[in-house]
């Protein structure tokens, strides 16, 4: 969907459900059944109360931009991708997560902008969670 | 246990070169070690503790102890990025106070300029658990700091012009340092017109990329008394880890909020006692946020503070980075750190360049910021004096 590079992410037993869900266009995160925290990034325990009783739960995929930067020129595989937007998106469920804002002109991006998840999938099936304007312009 | 007055910095040395072709990293470690020991009036055979961080090759202190030929009772490989070497001073002071060693050698060296690494370097991600959730989004080091700057601007009205004041002050100091990588004065306009790297940070908001290194020798009071060279007592130390906190990140505060008060409490001093400050300056925003978090001004007022000429030596409210700092002088191995302590020692010994020497510099502060700003970071604060 976007023209930004995808990546060979490292999938392990702690994160497998997250990556599997992205391929099905869903954002799944662990929620602690003890203290109810949504855990970011996914792992086998809750870093708030140390419980290992977590349940995968589908998130709304909605959020707002907490901060962002327009990168003029990236490094490595991103060298020709600029200008692109790196951002922290605050999910409606709480965590502020690192991502890219796509499908919107970089100059239109602003703090507090409502955004929604994009399951950015390549022809080879690789997928990254990115975000776009909630009401695409 | 307080380490106040229980350890002294007896030797400090900064490699004079900023581009070092045809030498190995370990060789530069050895050169700065020799320089700091000579400064202290000590030799390699006096060293019984050695400290290094991730810039040291191989097994770190194990490889380097062998390479240098040291006989040691204590080693420390603590790695917290650019703040490592300030934390090493704290750890050395603790080890000396515990009687585990008497002469501690700390070294940093790197050759990012000759090896072609860019700003911030290639990063040391390895198999870290966060990698797949952060590093595949084109997040450059600069972009991470730029997001902290953007949020600071949003919350407090900070401007690019105010950030530029920090570079202008550093550059005015660097004019007097014949070893500085950049020795030219710059104007606010030149900073604002320099190439935008990661909005809102321009090229001139970023530190230099230099080869080089530095070393420190920290000794017990007994050793310090026998040396003819003026030693600088460690009066206060503070360290803090700040991380993403289960994704509930806060980009406008650093670990200095915790490390600063710890150091001041140990020293029995307050920010108003500090005559000179070495503030880690990987980027201009690093300085601004750190000044606020250390209590030199109210949170959110850093922009006004720096725009008022506060950082200008020798007569500003808080002269900073009189060597030109990482922004102009030196950021060896993409992680200054040790140069922050070295310039503070020069100020306390009255050996800074006369034009930027702070008169009656009784107390100095050095602060290191390692890792990323406000997300995954180690903050280390040292307060040093002229006497206990």
**In this structure, are A90 and A39 located in the same domain?**
no
One DSSP character per residue, A27-55 reads: -EEEEETTT-PBPSS--SS-TTT----EE
* Residue-wise pLDDT tens digits, B266-280: 999 999 999 999 999
**In this structure, are A137 and A109 located in the same domain?**
yes
**In this structure, are A131 and A65 located in the same domain?**
yes
pLDDT at residue B247 in the model: 96
Of B136, B138, B142, which is closest to A81 when you measure between CB atoms?
B138
Instruction: Establish if A2 belongs to a structural domain.
Output: no
Instruction: Establish if A81 belongs to a structural domain.
Output: yes
pLDDT above 80 (res B123): no
Instruction: Establish if A129 belongs to a structural domain.
Output: yes
* Dihedrals phi, psi of B92, to nearest 5 degrees: -65, -45
**In this structure, are A69 and A118 located in the same domain?**
yes
pLDDT above 70 (res B118): no
**In this structure, are A23 and A81 located in the same domain?**
no
- Please check whether residue A73 touches B, CB under 8 A: yes
Strand order in the sheet with B377-385: B74-76, B49-51, B103-110, B212-219, B8-14, B232-242, B377-385, B363-371, B276-279
Which structural domain range is residue A20 located in?
10-59
Please count the structural domains in chain A: 2
Q: With pLDDT > 90 as the criterion, what percentage of chain A qualifies?
A: 87
**In this structure, are A94 and A134 located in the same domain?**
yes
> Strand (E) positions, chain B?
8-14, 49-51, 74-76, 103-110, 196-198, 201-202, 212-219, 232-242, 276-279, 363-371, 377-385
Please give the mean pLDDT across all residues of chain B.
96
**In this structure, are A69 and A105 located in the same domain?**
yes
The total number of residues written for chain B in this structure: 388
Half-sphere exposure of A6 (CA within 13 A, CB side): 14
**In this structure, are A28 and A91 located in the same domain?**
no
Instruction: Establish if A105 belongs to a structural domain.
Output: yes
**Domains, in order of start, for chain B:** 8-116+207-385 (3.40.47.10)
**In this structure, are A137 and A89 located in the same domain?**
yes
Tell me the average pLDDT across B49-58: 95
Of B150, B201, B247, which is closest to A96 when you measure between CB atoms?
B247
Instruction: Establish if A84 belongs to a structural domain.
Output: yes
* Residue-wise pLDDT tens digits, B33-44: 999 999 999 999
pLDDT at residue A1 in the model: 59
In chain B, residues with a C-beta closer than 8 Å to the C-beta of A40 are 133, 244, 246-247
Under the banding of pLDDT at 50, 70 and 90, the label for residue B281 is very high
pLDDT above 80 (res B126): no
Of B143, B244, B248, which is closest to A69 when you measure between CB atoms?
B143
Tell me the average pLDDT across B137-165: 97
pLDDT at residue B119 in the model: 62
Q: With pLDDT > 70 as the criterion, what percentage of chain B qualifies?
A: 97
- CATH number where A93 lies: 2.40.50
Instruction: Establish if A4 belongs to a structural domain.
Output: no
pLDDT at residue B186 in the model: 98
**In this structure, are A76 and A129 located in the same domain?**
yes
* Residue-wise pLDDT tens digits, A82-95: 899 999 999 999 99
* Residue-wise pLDDT tens digits, B228-268: 999 999 999 999 999 999 999 999 999 999 999 999 999 99
Instruction: Establish if A1 belongs to a structural domain.
Output: no
**In this structure, are A77 and A40 located in the same domain?**
no
Instruction: Establish if A74 belongs to a structural domain.
Output: yes
Q: Does the beta-carbon distance from B247 to A78 stay under 8 Å?
A: no
The chain B residues in contact with chain A (CB within 8 A) are 118, 127, 129-134, 136-140, 142-143, 146-148, 150-151, 154, 195-201, 244, 246-249, 251
* Dihedrals phi, psi of A71, to nearest 5 degrees: -90, 120
pLDDT at residue A76 in the model: 87
Q: Does the beta-carbon distance from A69 to B247 stay under 8 Å?
A: no
Burial class, B292, CB count within 10 angstroms (exposed 0-12 / middle 13-18 / buried 19+)? buried
Q: Which residue of A has its CA nearest to B201?
A: A69
Q: Does the beta-carbon distance from B195 to A96 stay under 8 Å?
A: no
d(CA B34, nearest CA chain A) in Å: 37
**In this structure, are A74 and A109 located in the same domain?**
yes
Tell me the average pLDDT across B291-319: 96
- Closest listed residue to residue B319, CA positions, set B344, B295, B341, B336: B344
């Amino acid at each position: 969907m976007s023209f930004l590079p995808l990546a060979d992410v490292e999938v392990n037993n702690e994160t497998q459900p997250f990556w599997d869900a992205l391929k099905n266009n869903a954002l799944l995160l662990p929620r602690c059944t003890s203290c109810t925290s949504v855990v970011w990034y996914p792992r086998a325990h809750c870093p708030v109360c140390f419980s290992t009783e977590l349940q995968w739960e589908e998130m709304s995929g909605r959020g707002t931009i907490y901060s962002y930067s327009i990168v003029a020129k990236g490094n490595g595989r991103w060298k020709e991708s600029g200008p692109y937007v790196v951002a922290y998106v605050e999910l409606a469920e709480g965590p502020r997560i690192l991502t890219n804002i796509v499908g919107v002109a970089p100059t239109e991006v602003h703090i507090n902008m409502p955004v929604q998840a994009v399951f950015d999938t390549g022809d080879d099936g690789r997928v990254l969670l990115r975000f776009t304007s909630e009401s695409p312009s | 246990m307080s380490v106040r007055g229980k350890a002294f910095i007896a030797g400090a040395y900064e490699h004079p070169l900023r581009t070092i072709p045809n030498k190995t990293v370990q060789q530069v470690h050895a050169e700065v070690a020799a320089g700091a020991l000579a400064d202290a009036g000590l030799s390699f055979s006096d060293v019984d503790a050695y400290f290094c961080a991730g810039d040291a090759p191989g097994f770190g202190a194990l490889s380097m102890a062998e390479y240098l030929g040291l006989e040691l009772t204590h080693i420390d490989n603590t790695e917290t990025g650019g703040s490592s070497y300030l934390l090493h001073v704290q750890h050395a002071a603790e080890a000396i106070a515990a009687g585990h060693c008497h002469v501690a050698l700390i070294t940093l060296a790197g050759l990012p300029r000759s090896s072609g690494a860019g700003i911030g370097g290639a990063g040391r991600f390895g198999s870290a658990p966060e990698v797949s959730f952060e590093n595949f989004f084109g997040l450059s080091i600069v972009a991470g700091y730029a997001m902290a700057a953007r949020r600071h601007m949003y919350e407090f009205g900070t401007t690019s012009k105010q950030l530029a004041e920090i570079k202008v002050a550093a550059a005015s100091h660097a004019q007097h340092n014949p070893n500085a990588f950049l020795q030219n004065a710059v104007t606010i306009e030149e900073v604002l017109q320099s190439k935008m790297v990661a909005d809102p940070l321009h090229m001139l908001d970023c530190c230099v990329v230099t080869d080089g290194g530095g070393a420190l020798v920290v000794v017990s009071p007994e050793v310090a008394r026998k040396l003819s060279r003026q030693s600088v007592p460690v009066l206060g130390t503070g360290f803090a880890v700040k991380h993403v906190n289960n994704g509930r990140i806060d980009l406008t505060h650093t670990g200095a909020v915790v490390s600063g008060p710890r150091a001041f409490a140990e020293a029995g001093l307050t920010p108003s006692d500090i005559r000179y400050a070495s503030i880690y300056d990987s980027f201009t925003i690093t300085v601004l946020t750190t000044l606020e978090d250390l209590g030199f001004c109210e949170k959110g007022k850093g922009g006004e503070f720096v725009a008022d000429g506060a950082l200008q030596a020798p007569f500003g409210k808080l002269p900073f980075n009189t060597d030109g700092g990482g922004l102009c002088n030196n950021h060896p191995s993409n992680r200054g750190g040790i140069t922050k302590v070295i310039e503070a020692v020069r100020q306390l010994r009255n050996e800074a360049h006369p034009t930027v020497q702070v008169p009656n510099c009784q107390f100095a502060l050095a602060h290191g910021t390692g890792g990323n700003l406000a997300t995954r970071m180690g903050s280390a604060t040292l307060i040093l004096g002229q006497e206990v």
